[in-house]
Each structure stands twice: as C-alpha cells, then as structure tokens.
Chain A
C-alpha cells in the first residue's frame, strides 16, 4: 500500500506503549527495548510518508525488535558472550490493555523523582524524542538524555507485572500539562493525549476527572493571554475564544465520572472549571456553587493553597469582606497570598491598600507574565 504524505505523529505515537510492551513481553529488557522502540519510531517518521505499512503496529514491533537484537548483540559482544535470539520477534503472549497501564506505572515509579518520572513518561509512553523533551523543558539535550537514562536504570529493577499507583501517574500527567508549551512540542496537548489513552485503559473516576480538568482548562487557553504574552484574568477573557467543543467533551467526561459517585480531587477541580466554563459572562458565574466545591476540595485535600483559592471564591460569593475574613485565617507566607489579598481589597474599593499589595505581590511573583500583570494592576489602581 502506498500512501504519500506526512505521518500523523500523534497517531503514530499512540502505538508506542503497545510496541514497547510487546518487546518486553518477548524477553527484551526495558531500557534497551525503549531505545529500540525510539529508533523504530524515527525510522517510521522517515519511511512512512513514502510507504505506509498495512500493519503499522506490526511493522513497528518487527523493526524495533531487530534494532533491539542489534543493540543487545553489540552489548553482549562487549561482554564476550553469545546471544541466541532470532531476528524475528518470538510471538510472546499478546499484550493487553493492562500492559499499557503497567507501562504508565513503571514510568511513574515511586523511586523516581517527579522530574525524572515526567521525562521517562514523555519518552517511553509518549514517544517524544529526547531532543523534543529537552526543548520543551528548556534544558540542554545532553542533560535530558542523562536524566532519562538514569531514570531507566532506576526502574530497570522494577518489573512490568507489579501493581502500581494510579495517583502517581496522574500527578506526572498533571505536571506535564502545567508546563504548557515552549519549543515545538505542546505539552498540554501531549498531556491530554496521554490522559485520553489512560482513560481508555482504566475505569478510574479520577483519571476521567483529570482528563475533564485538562480539557476544560485547555479550552480557555487562547483567551488566557494576549498576542504579546500578557495575562488576561478569567473575568476579562473574551469568552467567544473559548473552545466549545473541548468544553462539551470535558463536561461529558466529568458528568459520567461524577455519576459513579466516587469523588476525588481532580473531579472537584474539573467541576469548578466546568462552572466557570458554563457562565456566559463573568457576572453569571455561580460562585455559591463554586464555594461549595471548594469546601469539598478542602475536605479531600486539606491543602492550604486550596483554602486560599476558596477565600477568593468566598470573596466573589459573599462579598470581598467575607473573602478577606476567610483569608485572615490563613498563613500569609502562602504563595499568591498577597496577590489574593490585593485582589480582594481592590474588590472592596480600597485601591490604595490594593496597589501597595500588588507591588509586594509582584516582587514575589515566580513568573514574568504574572509579575508584569501585578505591576500593571498596581499602576492602574494608583491612577483611580
């Protein structure tokens, strides 16, 4: 079959976990197999535009297996031993949906640091190249290559058939999503792709909750920044820029999860995002219900950051004085505490105090766009 044209890279990379699992099932060690799969992937990108195989996954398995044999042989040659394996992949047991899940567990292994787990997941499950991952995280390629090979060594003692913890996998995907995009890889899109894959693999409500959260946040991305990179707060966003199809999908996924009545933090965060998405204008936002969801989130996580966000929501639902009262119960050294206080004072009409606080918040900002935004708020209020 001849099909000329560009390869759909995302579609191609969807096949990667299955190919890697197939190699491991046929007796390959994880670290070498992963290298072999990566090389097969590059070959596919090079060859498929001219001649796409009838069985793309089979082609990848065969190509990766041959590459694995080469790698293993050169390895054993160095150790002066003979390796007796066939050039054709042995049949092995057919890999199942659960195996893909095991691969996620392995890459989010608790022995890995979060940055290593992220890097390994993007490569071994996501099929991204080391160069792409390095670009996305703005580190030199050699650094990222080292990080990935150390991570592979760390998990090489682990096996694919051990039970894993879905929570650690979700945390890894959350970190990937939050990175957004720089360079030619859109990590938010990648996190959504992986979350979809994971949703198809499990029936876990929190996996669905996380996918819904990603979709609902991603839907607002175009509206969140101006062309010059400056931030647009939720209330000021042009809601016609929100991607309705992503919102609709996110709400569907969330409702199906909520109906199973096993609430978790990602479902609650998605519910809050859905309430924002549901409002035609900022004024129509159902803040009372948002506060109720925040109460639920406080109950589930007991996180100080959640309490801070709740205080701001209380300020919208019950007025800025109520918000400031809720804020007063929290630790002022919390990240964004001062920015939240500034906002609530602004809402209360105390522009002088708000401007002072915005200046202090700008000095503490960890992000340039945020710092510029806070500085501008201070300057604007000084003119009132």
Chain B
C-alpha cells in the first residue's frame, strides 16, 4: 500500500473545465456538491482506503525566523499570484493507477449547472520511511 495526497487548489492549478466559482452556483448545486464530497469520503472509508481529509481557510501568511531573540517575521496575507492550497485528501491504496482513478472521481464533483467541475487535482505519493521487504 502507498499513501497518496490529493491536493486541491484555490489558485495556481490550471483552470477547471466547468470554471464558474462556487459563490455563483444555485443552492441546489452547492448542496449537490457537498453531498458528492461527503459520499466520496464515506465510500473510501468503507473500502478501507481513506486516511484523512482537511479543508484550509484561504487566509494565511508567510513566516520566517529573524534570528535568535527576535520575534519571527510574518508576511501576509498571501499575494493574489500565490499558488493557494484549498485542502487535501490522503488515501492509502494498492497502486498509482488506483490513486489516479480516485482523484479522477473526486475531480468530477458536480459544480455549476450540476455538471462535473473537472478540476485539476495534484496527486503526490508519500516518501516511505523505514525498511521495506521487497521479496
């Protein structure tokens, strides 16, 4: 089993096919989208492939150390050009193909007009730690 991270972006990903922002959708379309996301996570929990899913607020800041004895420097809010992560889902699956299949399903969540969003999700595999038996 390998863990994969699906990253959803507020900004920075190539545009979705169905690119109307959520605040322009009808209430039914918003409901349908939320329902789809809940059902998707539930299905992965039932299949034993779900690990975690979290959403992030769009607000945030850059932070770095400014040396010993000084408070850290912050820079924010994020500039409009910044690649902005909206949230993630982590799955634990048998193969890369399965991860891609699931990310594809997640990307097809319904949006404006009830049509799939077909948004781009970033799929990344976790580096494993510790020895692996390969025989």
Q: A residues near B, CB below 8 A?
A: 228-230, 359, 362-366, 368, 371-372, 375-376, 378-380, 382-383
**Which of B19-27, B66-74, B98-106 is the contact stretch?**
B19-27
Tell me how far the C-beta of A178 lies from the nearest C-beta in chain B, rounded to whole angstroms: 19
B30 at the interface (CB under 8 A from A): yes
B58 at the interface (CB under 8 A from A): yes
Contact call B27/A376, Cβ cutoff below 8 A: yes
Contact call B59/A368, Cβ cutoff below 8 A: no
The answer to whether A365 and B30 touch (CB under 8 A), given A228-B35, A379-B25, is: no
Q: A228-B38, A366-B57 given. 9 additional CB < 8 A pairs?
A: A362-B23, A363-B58, A371-B55, A375-B22, A375-B30, A378-B23, A379-B25, A380-B27, A383-B26
Contact call A230/B34, Cβ cutoff below 8 A: yes
16 of the cross-chain contacts (CB-CB < 8 Å) are A230-B34, A359-B23, A364-B57, A364-B59, A371-B55, A375-B22, A375-B30, A376-B30, A378-B23, A379-B26, A379-B27, A379-B29, A379-B30, A380-B27, A382-B24, A382-B26
> Bound complex: CA of A228 vs CA of B31, how far in Å?
10
How many residues of B sit at the interface, in one of the four size bands?
Answer: 10 to 19
Tell me how far the C-beta of A339 lies from the nearest C-beta in chain B, rounded to whole angstroms: 14
- Pairs of residues from A and B, 7 with the lowest C-beta to C-beta distance, nearest first: A359-B23, A379-B27, A380-B27, A379-B30, A376-B30, A363-B58, A376-B27
Query: Which of B98-128 touch A at CB < 8 Å?
Result: none
> Bound complex: CA of A204 vs CA of B33, how far in Å?
49
Contact call B22/A376, Cβ cutoff below 8 A: no
Task: Please name the residue on chain A nearest to B34 by beta carbon.
Answer: A372
Number of A-B pairs, beta carbon distance below 8 Å? 36
Q: Which residues of chain B come closer than 8 Å to A359, judged between CB atoms?
A: 23
> Bound complex: CA of A376 vs CA of B22, how far in Å?
10
> Bound complex: CA of A366 vs CA of B55, how far in Å?
10
Contact call A229/B23, Cβ cutoff below 8 A: no
Q: Which residues of chain A come closer than 8 Å to B23, judged between CB atoms?
A: 359, 362, 375, 378-379
Tell me how far the C-beta of B36 lies from the nearest C-beta in chain A, rounded to whole angstroms: 12
Contact residue among B27, B31, B35, B59 (Cβ-Cβ distance under 8 Å from A383): B27
Q: Which residues of chain A come closer than 8 Å to B58, judged between CB atoms?
A: 363
Query: Which of B36-62 touch A at CB < 8 Å?
Result: 38, 55, 57-59
Q: Which residues of chain A come closer than 8 Å to B57, judged between CB atoms?
A: 363-366
- Choose among A229, A375, A379 the residue with the greatest number of B CB atoms under 10 Å from its CB: A379
> Bound complex: CA of A362 vs CA of B26, how far in Å?
15
> Bound complex: CA of A380 vs CA of B57, how far in Å?
22
Contact call A368/B55, Cβ cutoff below 8 A: yes
Contact residue among B31, B38, B55, B59 (Cβ-Cβ distance under 8 Å from A376): B31
Q: Which residues of chain B come closer than 8 Å to A366, judged between CB atoms?
A: 57
Q: Which residues of chain A come closer than 8 Å to B24, judged between CB atoms?
A: 382
Q: Which residues of chain B come closer than 8 Å to A362, judged between CB atoms?
A: 23
Tell me how far the C-beta of B116 lies from the nearest C-beta in chain A, rounded to whole angstroms: 19
> Bound complex: CA of A321 vs CA of B119, how far in Å?
42
Tell me how far the C-beta of B43 lies from the nearest C-beta in chain A, rounded to whole angstroms: 15
> Bound complex: CA of A365 vs CA of B38, how far in Å?
19
Q: Which residues of chain A come closer than 8 Å to B25, judged between CB atoms?
A: 379
> Bound complex: CA of A379 vs CA of B59, how far in Å?
22
